[in-house]
Amino acid sequence: MIIGAGYVGLTTGLALAYVGHKVDVIEKNKEKLNKLKSKTSPIYEKGVQELIELVKDNINFWEKPDEVIKEAEIVIIAVGTPPKKNGEADLSYLEDAIRDILKKINLEKDYTLAIKSTVPIGTNNKIDNIIKEFYREKGIESKIHLASNPEFLREGMALYDTLYPDRIVIGSLSAKAISDLQELYKPILQQTFTPPSFINKPNAFNLPHLIITDPTSSEMIKYAANAFLALKISFINEIAGLCEKVGANIKDVARGIGTDKRIGISFLNAGIGWGGSCFPKDTLALLEFAKEIGYNMPIVSAAREVNQRARKAVIDKLKTYYGDLREKTIAVLGLAFKPGTDDVRESPALDIIKILLNEGAKVKACDPVALQNAKKAIGINEKINFFTNPYEAVEGVDAAIFATEWPEWANLDFVKLASKMRTRLFIDGRNFYEPEEVKKAGFTYMGVGR
Q: What is the pLDDT of residue 70?
A: 87
Q: What is the pTM of this model?
A: 0.92
Distance CA 45, CA 292 (A): 36
Q: What is the pLDDT along the chain (450 residues), one digit of tens a residue?
A: 999 999 999 999 999 999 999 999 999 999 999 999 999 999 999 999 999 999 999 999 999 998 799 889 999 999 999 988 888 889 999 999 999 999 999 999 999 999 999 999 999 999 999 999 999 999 999 999 999 999 999 999 999 999 999 999 999 999 999 999 999 999 999 999 999 999 989 888 899 999 999 999 999 999 999 999 999 999 999 999 999 999 999 999 999 999 999 999 999 999 999 999 899 999 999 999 999 999 999 999 999 999 999 999 999 999 999 999 999 999 999 999 999 999 999 999 999 999 999 999 999 999 999 999 999 999 889 999 999 999 999 999 999 999 999 999 999 999 999 999 999 999 999 999 999 999 999 999 999 999
Beta strands, E only, 17-110? 23-26, 59-62, 74-77
Q: 197 and 302: one domain?
A: no
The domain that holds 431 is classified in CATH as 3.40.50.720
Please answer whether residues 17 and 188 qualify as being in contact, where contact means their C-beta atoms are separated by less than 8 angstroms.
Answer: no
What pLDDT shows up at residue 88? Answer: 86
Q: So what's the pLDDT on residue 258?
A: 97
> Do 297 and 165 have their domain in common?
no
**Judgement on whether residues 302 and 427 belong to the same structural domain of the protein:** yes
pLDDT of residue 148: 98
Closest to 370 in 3D by CA, of 337, 331, 393, 402? 337
Q: How many residues does the chain have?
A: 450
- By annotation, the residues acting in catalysis are 278
Closest CA to 268 of 295, 239, 310, 293: 239
Last residue of a domain, one of 213, 248, 263: 213
Q: What are phi and psi of 418, to 5 degrees?
A: -65, -35
Q: Decide if 303 is inside a domain.
A: yes
Same domain for 327 and 425?
yes
Query: Listing from the earlier edge strand, what are the strands of the sheet with 111-115?
Result: 59-62, 23-26, 2-3, 74-77, 111-115, 144-148, 167-171, 209-213
Last residue of some domain: 213, 241, 256?
213
What is the C-alpha to C-alpha distance for residues 435 and 25, in angstroms, rounded to an integer? 48
Same domain, 174 and 315: no
Are 368 and 341 in contact by the 8 Å Cβ rule? The answer is no
Q: Is residue 266 part of a domain?
A: no
Based on the fold, state whether residues 194 and 292 are members of the same structural domain: no
The pLDDT value recorded for residue 95 is 93
Residue where a domain stops, chosen among 189, 213, 237:
213
Answer yes or no: is 261 within a domain.
Answer: no
Angstrom distance (rounded) from CA 68 to CA 58:
14
**Position 267 in a domain:** no
Say if CB 3 and CB 75 are below 8 A apart: yes
Same domain (yes/no): 38, 186: yes
Q: How far apart are CA 14 and CA 158, in angstroms?
A: 11
User: 314 with 209, same domain?
Assistant: no
Same domain, 73 and 161: yes
CA atoms within 13 Å, Cβ hemisphere of 110: 7
Separation in Å, CA 347 to CA 213, 236, 244, 371: 34, 19, 24, 13
CA distance 72 to 184: 13
What are the φ and ψ backbone dihedral angles of 343, each rounded to 5 degrees? -80, 125
Tell whether 181 and 106 lie within a shared domain: yes
From the list 51, 57, 120, the residue with the least C-alpha distance to 288 is 120
Domain membership flag for residue 239: no
Distances (CA, A) of 361 to 155, 349, 443: 31, 15, 21
- Give the 3-state secondary structure of 412-430: CCHHHHHHHCCCCEEEECC
Residue type, 120: P
**Are residue 76 and residue 201 in the same domain, yes or no?**
yes
Q: By C-alpha distance, which of 310, 436, 330 is closest to 383? A: 330
Do 308 and 421 lie in one domain? The reply is yes
C-beta neighbour count of 223 within 10 angstroms: 21
What is the b/e burial string over 251-273, where b = at least 16 CB atoms within 10 angstroms of the residue's CB?
Answer: bebbeebbeeeeeeeebbbbbbb
Does residue 328 lie in a domain region? yes
Domain enclosing residue 420, as ranges: 279-446
Q: How many domains does the chain have?
A: 2
Alpha helices (H) along 293-434: 298-322, 348-358, 371-378, 390-393, 414-420
